[in-house]
Structure 1
Amino acid sequence: MTTFSSGDAAFEGFRLTRENPRVVLAWSIFHFVVSSIGAVVLIAFGGDAMTQLAEQPEAAPGEMTALLREMAPAYMILAPLGLATMSAIAAAVYRLQLRPQEGGFGHLRFGADEIRLVLLTLIYYVLAVIGLVGLILLAGVIAGVVAAVAPDAQAPAAWATLLFCGGLIIYALVRLSLAPVLTFQERRLVVFGSWSLTRGHFWRLLGAYVLAGLTIAVVTLLTTVIFAAVLGIISVTMGRGLEGVGAVFQPDFSSISAYVTVETFIYLVVTAVLNAIYYPVILSPQVVAYRAFRTPEPAPPYEGGAGI
């Protein structure tokens, strides 16, 4: 068993991207293609509704409901697309570090590994809903008891309950955080195996995740500021003024020709590169923890899968 360092784990993703520029380029292309497909889906199935929402931000509740209902087909397509995308890129990050010999375009595939990660995500979604319902019921019971026994203590009790429930959620998320990498490496659904593997390591794991999240947030903020400045210069140079910058953050989904502009294209490229860095930074601490906490075992035989 190796030593786990929160700092080393938090910056592992940056090391990974620095040492594998071709893989990062492949991931950037992948994210760009997926984002472009998502934009086309929105335009084709909900473009008019999104345009009306942008033009009428204070629409009446009935009109808002009708517009959201009109956009439903788009989100019914985008939801599984997003789930498949996240599973594919997560598997690619794990594969690069745990099974680099499998190769492929950016280690991207969509086979049994990715399907298992999709199923794991759906299972956790159901468990999260059940857990949140349980916490809401618990909070309601506590509030009722406090109101009956000590009415003056309702406000402090509410804050204490909120902090307790929030802490419980964070604790569960950290303790179960190695489930995806376990599922990937063991080539089987591992829903609760992370709980025993992370026993006694909560604070170090939390530190790694917080540090990685803060670091990528700073990188994203700085990139956004620089991007906005450069985009403003380009937009002014092309005679569009600053309206071109505003259109990037509130694009016109009424048609493909209206959506596609120089500014929008640059935006898609920049966000694709940021996503290609974001995922390894956020996911790599899991791989570092897995290697540190688990006794090395030979990986099961390669199953194959369709490359992307």
Structure 2
Amino acid sequence: MPSALLLPVLTCAVVLLVSGVAKLRDPDAVDTAFVDLDVPAGLRHPLLRRALPWVEIALGVWLVLATGPALVVVAALTLGLFLAYLWLVVRAVRMPEAVDCGCFGALGDTRVTTVTVWRNIALVASAALSLALGLSGSGVLAALLEDPSLWGWLATAALAAAVTGLVLYRPTADPVTAVDGVLTGELPVDDDGDYLPTPAPVAQLLDEAGALVLLSRETPAAAHLLLFLNPGCGSCEAVKPFVAQWSRELAPVTVRAVLMTAPAALASTWPDLSGLAWFDPNGVARRAFGCATPGAVLIGTDGNLAGGPVNGAQAVPEFVDEIAEQLRAAHVSG
């Protein structure tokens, strides 16, 4: 029986190691996740955020090396950590807006969905089985040293996992980008290499007075940068203070914060965005553009997409910097 428990222990170890390394490579995603998942304030200290990847790596290594009572301790700690993660994602799924968890740094799909919940349930079960292996008095390294035949069993299990992963693998589609002098990624082109104009989705928004705003009537006068924000989103709170600054710096591009609330809520949420806000209370325009919150998209004066969509508290400012750089270059060359 102990040999059958090696796989869940190794699964936990690999997940912790991959997660820890991914978090070390992208600490900003960890900071964003702590805010978006509404981690209790007492656990948001910068030292705790920076220590988390190292804790995960240490637990991953310890799971492989520990035996008996030592494995019981590390498996119990791992179980507690995974239960905490499960509690956070279950709570996040119930939030009105989509949340990015950054559970694996920038690796994989960062959106919190029901799939995330089931993934974490499976990790909790694996940690519980790891605890059972420790209670049996055995351990991964000890079992492999005592019975070399287990190496073959693990190798075939790894092969099956690799085949499954390759069969289910789908490359991530490149975001739509282009035109009007703002280049933000690889342009969509035809077989001859010519740019393929991509019309912006038909979208209706509300202005601060509650009147209907048709983007098709607004964009011919100026390119528009739409910043999709939700006052209940922690990452959006990090982007919101820059909206007014970007509005000044990106002229003649018109910058609008598109809020996922009714116009009447502006005064009680983000009154400092008065004069810069449009509203998408049901999220219809946001979904049409393929944006999360925070998210951004640039529409050219020709009514075509000129950049984006991009999503995330880190990607949106980088996107704006690219637009500003292109505008400066166009001004110099002009």
Task: Provide the TM-score with structure 1 as the length reference.
Answer: 0.22
Highest Rg: 1 or 2? 2
Task: Provide the TM-score with structure 2 as the length reference.
Answer: 0.21
Structure with the larger RCO, 1 or 2 (CA within 8 Å, 6+ apart): 1
